[in-house]
Structure 1
Amino acid sequence: MMENASVITMFSLSGLNFPFVQRITIFVLILLCYLIILLSNFTIIFVIVMDRKLHKPMYVFLCNLCINAVYGSVGFYPKFLVDLLSSHVISYAGCMLQGYVIHSSNCCDFSILALMAYDRYVALCRPLVYQSFMSKQRVTLFVFFSWFIPLFCMLMNTASVLGKKLCGSHIDRIYCVNLMVVNLACSPLKANNIIASFNIGLYFLHFLFICWSYVHLIKTCISSTQMWKKFRHTCMPHIICLITYSTTLLLDLLYMRFGSADLSQHFYNFMNIEFLLIPPILNPLIYGLKLTQIRNGILTFLHTKKKIHSF
Structure 2
Amino acid sequence: MMLNSTLSTLSFFVLGAYVHVGNLKYFYFLLTAMLYVVIVVANTSLIVVICVNRSLHEPMYMFLCSLFVNELYGSTGLFPFLLLQILSDIHTVSASACFLQIYCLYTYANIEFCTLAVMSYDRYLAICCPLQYNTRMTPDRAVVFIIVIWLVCFVKFLITLSLNLRLTLCGNVINNLYCRNYLIVKLMCSDTRVNNIYGLCAIAVTVVVPLLPILFSYMKIFQVCFSGSKQTRQKAISTCTPHLISLLNFFCCCTFEIIQSRFDTTSRSSVLQNFLSLYFVLLQPLLNPVMYGLQMSKIRNTCKHVLCYKLLAGRRDQMQMC
After the TM superposition, which residues 1-311 of structure 1 pair with which residues of structure 2 at under 5 Å, given as runs?
4-5=4-5, 7-18=9-20, 20-86=22-88, 87-205=90-208, 206-224=210-228, 225-310=230-315, 311=317
What percent identity do the matched residue pairs reach?
A: 33
Deviation at 1:258, TM superposition (A): 2.3
Amino acid at match of 2:173: H
Q: Is the 8 A contact 2:57 2:139 kept in 1?
A: no
Q: TM-score, normalising length from structure 1?
A: 0.95
1:129-155 Cα deviation digits (max 9, x unpaired): 110111222111111111111111111
Give distance in 2, aligned partners of 1:54 and 1:77: 30
Change (3 A) 1:235 1:304: same
Q: TM-score, normalising length from structure 2?
A: 0.92
Give distance in 2, aligned partners of 1:102 and 1:271: 15
Amino acid at match of 2:295: K
Aligned residue in 1 for 2:320: none
Q: Is the 8 A contact 2:73 2:108 kept in 1?
A: yes
Give distance in 1, aligned partners of 2:194 and 2:301: 50
Amino acid at match of 1:150: C
Deviation at 1:57, TM superposition (A): 0.7
After TM superposition, where is structure 1 displaced by more than 4 Å over at least 4 residues in a row? none
Give distance in 2, aligned partners of 1:260 and 1:247: 17
Deviation at 1:186, TM superposition (A): 1.9
Amino acid at match of 1:160: L
Which shows bigger deviation, 21-30 or 195-204?
Answer: 195-204
Amino acid at match of 2:240: C
Deviation at 1:308, TM superposition (A): 2.5
Give distance in 2, aligned partners of 1:302 and 1:275: 32
Amino acid at match of 1:44: L
Give distance in 1, aligned partners of 2:270 and 2:134: 52
Q: Is the 8 A contact 1:113 1:242 kept in 2?
A: yes
Q: Is the 8 A contact 1:5 1:186 kept in 2?
A: no
Instruction: Report how many residues are paired.
Output: 309
Amino acid at match of 1:5: S
Which shows bigger deviation, 100-109 or 159-168?
Answer: 159-168
Deviation at 1:304, TM superposition (A): 1.6
Give distance in 2, aligned partners of 1:4 and 1:202: 34
Q: Secondary structure at the match of 1:222?
A: helix
Which runs of 5 or more residues in structure 2 are unaligned? 318-322
Which shows bigger deviation, 259-268 or 123-132?
Answer: 259-268
Q: Is the 8 A contact 1:10 1:90 kept in 2?
A: yes
Amino acid at match of 1:256: S
Q: Secondary structure at the match of 1:279?
A: helix
Give distance in 2, aligned partners of 1:271 and 1:226: 40
Amino acid at match of 1:80: L
